[in-house]
Structure 1
Amino acid sequence: MHGTESIYGFLAVGGMLAVTPGPNMVYVMSRSIAQGRKAGLVSLAGVMLGYLFYMFGAAFGITAFFLSVPYASSILGAAGAAYLSYLAWQAVKPGGRSPLEVRDLPHERRRRLFAMGATTSLLNPKLAMTFLSVLPQFINYRNGNVLEQSLVLGSSLIIAFATVNGAVAICAGSMAKLLSRRPGLLLAQRWAMGAVLLVLGANMMIDARRLAGIG
């Protein structure tokens, strides 16, 4: 993907991934419910370390990758499409348990909350795949400044993830009560999310095939 269309596509994918429940969101939500909003925000601060780690790692790695590997864009495109399809299946698979069904956790000190948040983020496969296989699809590496583009797009993703998870930390208690009373809303959210992710993944695969000269 390149040009203006890639920017809109990136905003769509980034926004969808930001609101897709994952380990980081579940951790922040659980801590907020168990210990209150401050604990959730401290946990989010730890999670931010993982965001920064993967952003810089992807930015420098992407630059080297595009310079050394033929068809790098199509390879990463296929990986990104497969990952989005996997997320879609996780959202709608029969018998799947929603990650928003959180449990109360024992109280922890702020230092430990921060450390646990960082660990959860660093070991989060969703975060790793987002930065290493999805983000590169929206970089116009033919125009140069690959590192700068990576950092700009990566920073946008971090802002999106931090904003969503910050809202989760603040509103976790109310959200949990609402979902416990209306499980139908949770099911509808899962199916809508799965459908959108599947469409985005299919479009990404088409673009990858086109860049590889297959389609």
Structure 2
Amino acid sequence: MPSIELLTTFALASLLLSLSPGPSNLYIMARSLSQGRNAGMAAAGGLAIGSLIYVLATALGLAAIFKYSPVAYTALKLAGAAYLVYLGIQTLRNKSPDTNARVQVEPWSAAKIFRQSVVVELTNPKTALFFLAFLPQFVRPDAGAVTSQLLVLGLVYALIALCCDLLVACLSDKLGDWLAHHASFPYWQDRISGTLLLGLGIFIAADELKND
């Protein structure tokens, strides 16, 4: 099992990243604004199921890589660190989303929104890359079974992301109006998240290279 200190660091990083403005948040907000809170919650639930499927697939795959080729696992961690650096740079360069633009979506039933949200999450290649880059960085071989650690970390991330998405769904009207009057908020969210990703990637790469 990951240590309390590691879980705390991971949870804080996950919370900050989940709260950052992004496609999923805007999608849930659009659904909530167009069809109400229940539609937004259905979208959040579908995205969460998609994330859980990725968690399971990622945990089993990474555990197999670690078991049969520790060198390949180290290479994957370095590649993941490089990807986190890339994400950090891209996030820092992002333009703030236009919170005054209310996205219009086709009215659907809650069940259809839920199913579509699962598909949206599963067909997003950035989600797969993020799990491959993010989760391995917090695994410690001396802390127990790699599979268990990956599952725990993945579940923590999915739970935090779900809570943040449900918050967006419940407060979408107020949140949308608030963001419209605080145009600098998305800008600083991107700056903080980008700096976190960039710093995390650099630290992990340096730590891996030092240990090698």
TM-score by length of 1: 0.86
The answer for the alignment partner of 1:132 in structure 2 is: 132
Contact kept? 1:23, 1:121, Cα under 8 Å: no
The answer for the alignment partner of 1:150 in structure 2 is: 150
The answer for the alignment partner of 1:178 in structure 2 is: 178
Q: CA RMSD in A?
A: 2.3
Q: Does 1:17 align with 2:13?
A: no
CA drift at 1:54:
0.6
1: CA distance between counterparts of 2:22 and 2:196? 16
Quick one: which amino acid aligns to residue 17 of structure 2?
L
The answer for the alignment partner of 1:30 in structure 2 is: 30
2: CA distance between counterparts of 1:75 and 1:6? 22
Contact kept? 2:21, 2:189, Cα under 8 Å: no
The answer for the alignment partner of 1:105 in structure 2 is: 105
2: CA distance between counterparts of 1:13 and 1:126? 18
Runs of 5+ consecutive residues of structure 1 not aligned to the other structure: none
2: CA distance between counterparts of 1:113 and 1:127? 19
The answer for the alignment partner of 2:162 in structure 1 is: 162
The more displaced of 20-29 and 59-68 is 20-29
The answer for the alignment partner of 1:74 in structure 2 is: 74
The answer for the alignment partner of 1:89 in structure 2 is: 89
2: CA distance between counterparts of 1:112 and 1:3? 40
Q: How many residues align?
A: 210
Q: Stretches of 4+ moved more than 6 A in 1?
A: none
1: CA distance between counterparts of 2:64 and 2:41? 35
1: CA distance between counterparts of 2:112 and 2:160? 25
Runs of 5+ consecutive residues of structure 2 not aligned to the other structure: none
1:169-212 Cα deviation digits (max 9, x unpaired): 1111111111212212222222222222221221122122224x
**Percent identity (aligned):** 30
1: CA distance between counterparts of 2:210 and 2:102? 42
The 5 A counterparts of 1:178-197 are 178-197=178-197
Counterparts in 2 of 1:89 and 1:106: CA distance versus 1, 3 Å:
same
CA drift at 1:102:
5.2
The answer for the alignment partner of 2:114 in structure 1 is: 114
The answer for the alignment partner of 2:7 in structure 1 is: 7
